[in-house]
Amino acid sequence: MSKWTEQAMPDQSGRTILVTGANSGLGFVTSRELARKGAHVLMAVRDPARGEDALARIRAAVPKASIELRRLDLADLDQVKSFARQLIDDKVPLDILINNAGVMMPPRTLTGQGFELQFGVNHLAHFALTGLLLETLAKRQESRVVTVSSDLHRRGHIHFDDLDGAKNYGRIAFYAQSKFANVLFALELDRRLRAASLPVRSLLAHPGYAATNLQTSGPTGLLNLFMRIGNRFMAQSMEMGALPQLYAATAPQAESGQFIGPDGRTEMKGYPTVVQPIASARDPDVAAKFWALSEQLTGIKPSFATETSI
């Protein structure tokens, strides 16, 4: 692909797209550009007030935007489950799910269910959301799940004996674990979708180093200062950072199982291209073990039954 931008996105009229973490950063840009192309965008946001502000800004930029807010706190699995069930009850025809929301390098914090916050929000909540909405997605043509990871997944692995960081918590290490988990999940989802012959694509995307509030809302102290300096002098714009996930969500040539990231040196900046995840994240045995663990922790077992066998 050569210098793909949002201008190359095909028309999205008639398609419904759910974006988590849609009120700021990459999620905001993604929601705005999808609405500009005619999609009906469901903006999943934790804070309704900030969501309303984001909605107003999108409508100012795209007056004819078809867009709505839905409240979703990914740090609470019970709310994730009720959110998904409400979409199903409302018979929302979902075409694309973009698992974009995330938290980055906070002090050790636990979710309402007792999971380490980054692992709970960045992976478990999106695993549960995807699993609950999979049958809805499978009813649509050309449906997709796009999971947003990070190049820092290369520094990650799954701490199977210390998932909550009670023994040895490190902000960067556990962020890397959550992003490694995203890659394990999306690639295993692709394997299972292919095996079941379901018409849903599972893709990964990462933004490189894009200047968003993610880098400064979680880290504290010197790490926060370093992130602010990096955002100012090293990062690319949010608009450039959102391109990989927009490509993964809409480009006809994007294939299930692909990882889309920037084409620049070290994948820090640039235009969307296919990149390769770290080899350990492509291990199907580790992925299968981790999938089973995710089912156990969330209480959600995604169904891969084909429509003819239901």
Q: Which residues are catalytic?
A: 175
What is the rounded distance in angstroms from the CA atom of residue 182 to the CA atom of residue 196? 21
Residue 3 tokens read as 């210098």
- C-beta separation of 129 from 55 below 8 A: no
Specify the length of the chain in residues: 310
Gap between the Cα atoms of 262 and 182, Å rounded: 18
**What CA–CA distances, in Å, run from 119 to 47, 105, 262?**
20, 11, 24
Sheet strand arrangement including 259-262: 66-71, 40-45, 16-20, 96-99, 143-148, 200-205, 259-262, 272-275
Strands of 29-142, DSSP E: 40-45, 66-71, 96-99
Q: What is the 3-state secondary structure (H, E, C) of 283-304?
A: CHHHHHHHHHHHHHHHCCCCCC
Rg value, the chain, Cα? 18
211, 236 in Cβ contact below 8 A?
Answer: yes
* Cα–Cα distance, 70 to 25 (Å, whole number): 17
Rounded to whole angstroms, the Cα distance separating 17 from 35 reads 9
